[in-house]
Amino acid sequence: MPRTEISKFGEFGLIKHLTEKFSIQNTSTIKSIGDDSAVLYYDHKKVLLTTDLLLEGIHFDLVYVPLKHLGYKAAVVNFSDIYAMNGQPKQMTVSLGISKRFSVEELEAFYDGIELACKNYGVDLVGGDTSASLTGLTISITCIGEGEDGQIVYRNGANPTDLICVSGDLGSAYMGLQLLEREKAVFAGNENAQPEFEGKDYILQRQLKPEARKDIIKALHEKNIIPSAMMDISDGLSSELMHICSQSHTGCRIYEDKIPISYQAAVMAEELNMNIVTAALNGGEDYELLFTVSLEDYDKIVTMEGVGIVGHMTKPELGLQLVDREGGEIALKAQGWNSLG
């Protein structure tokens, strides 16, 4: 693979080189990259804004994360935050801190991933910044979205009788991470070792190339369902439920046998002698949607593909409980991943 030093382009030349292939997809984007500021136009829409900071060695490991996958994931996890507000992502900015060990070709791979995410989700790249870094790769992404009046969903709207719903399955991304870490440790002891990934493609994809649930937001809209509260599951189901309960002033009951778990995740957990329910509750990085809906929407929700009802909200004095397969109650605790912990 050829290697072009970043110094060949300079800061502005590098930005132009990496972003000139991006095309505008939204009418709300008036001016994108190439001026002192992007220009956006929203008429009678609420603007949604989210940002993420990703640090090498803290949030990702380039030993096993391909740069194209990293670019895709870095973009998609921001899109997920906008969908979690029942909105639509429209524009994004990307800022990078880059050490000298990276070549132009490696950054091209990273931006290829971002471009693919932008195309798949209909989002425009409209700006960003680059800087030298002494500590590896730093990624800061801001995503701008739009929401309709009366349609935006917050975390504080759940009611004591609402149903608790999740999209997809939980724990797969965490088990994918455990698999990658296991193989990294093996490789460190024997550089000739070949990774044992056969039959594990799904959990690897969930960790390396997650998808935001644009399809679920579309399905909710088509069924005329506006959740009472919603957020994406980035830090684990327990942690996210605690956020909704705290802000909505409710308790909750979720049922162990209703938590959706993939076959590959369950097998991986057994291989590693781990509890898959614990992984589903606390693993994080699933980027599925957790939302509550009124009991009146039960007939609509129960027929939705890719959505499961895992419990119900309660009065706050009843607390936050997991009901196990024997009917016993276990208090939920926020044990999701915390970079500052």
Does residue 18 carry a pLDDT above 60? Answer: yes
Looking at residue 309, what is its pLDDT? 98
CATH number at residue 321: 3.90.650.10
Global confidence as pTM: 0.91
- The model's pLDDT over 72-93, given as tens digits with 9 standing for 90+, comes to 999 999 999 999 999 999 999 9
Do residue 127 and residue 193 come from a single domain? no
236: alpha, beta or left? (left if phi > 0; alpha if psi -120 to 50): left
Tell me the HSE value of 245 on the side-chain side, using a 13 A CA sphere: 28
Amino acid code (one letter) for 305: E
- The model's pLDDT over 134-164, given as tens digits with 9 standing for 90+, comes to 888 999 999 999 998 889 999 999 999 999 9
Do residue 17 and residue 132 come from a single domain? yes
> Where in the sequence is the domain holding 324, given as residue range(s)?
163-331
Looking at residue 35, what is its pLDDT? 66
Binned at pLDDT 50, 70 and 90, residue 257 comes out as very high
Burial class, 248, CB count within 10 angstroms (exposed 0-12 / middle 13-18 / buried 19+): buried
- The model's pLDDT over 290-319, given as tens digits with 9 standing for 90+, comes to 999 999 999 999 999 999 999 999 999 999
47, part of any domain: yes
Give the mean pLDDT of the chain: 92
Helix axes 67-83, 214-222, angle to 10 degrees: 30
Do residue 267 and residue 178 come from a single domain? yes
- The model's pLDDT over 102-124, given as tens digits with 9 standing for 90+, comes to 999 999 999 999 999 999 999 99
Tokens of 151: 């349609």
336, part of any domain: no
Do residue 217 and residue 85 come from a single domain? no
29, part of any domain: yes
Q: Are 162 and 295 in contact (CB under 8 A)?
A: yes
Q: Are 164 and 309 in contact (CB under 8 A)?
A: yes
79, part of any domain: yes
Do residue 109 and residue 206 come from a single domain? no
Lookup result for tokens 């939980």: 170
For the chain, what is the domain count?
A: 2
* C-beta neighbour count of 169 within 10 angstroms: 22
Do residue 168 and residue 274 come from a single domain? yes
Do residue 24 and residue 77 come from a single domain? yes
Outline where DSSP puts E strands in 10-119.
29-31, 39-40, 46-55, 88-98
Do residue 216 and residue 312 come from a single domain? yes
341, part of any domain: no
Which residues have C-beta within 8 Å of that of residue 198, sequence separation ≥ 6?
Answer: none
CA distance linking residue 242 with residue 249, whole number of Å? 10
- The model's pLDDT over 160-194, given as tens digits with 9 standing for 90+, comes to 999 999 999 999 999 999 999 999 988 776 776 77
23, part of any domain: yes
CA distance linking residue 222 with residue 210, whole number of Å? 24
Residue at which a domain ends, from 88, 115, 147? 147
Do residue 246 and residue 143 come from a single domain? no
For a pLDDT cut of 90, what percent of the chain falls above it?
77
Lookup result for tokens 């409980």: 321
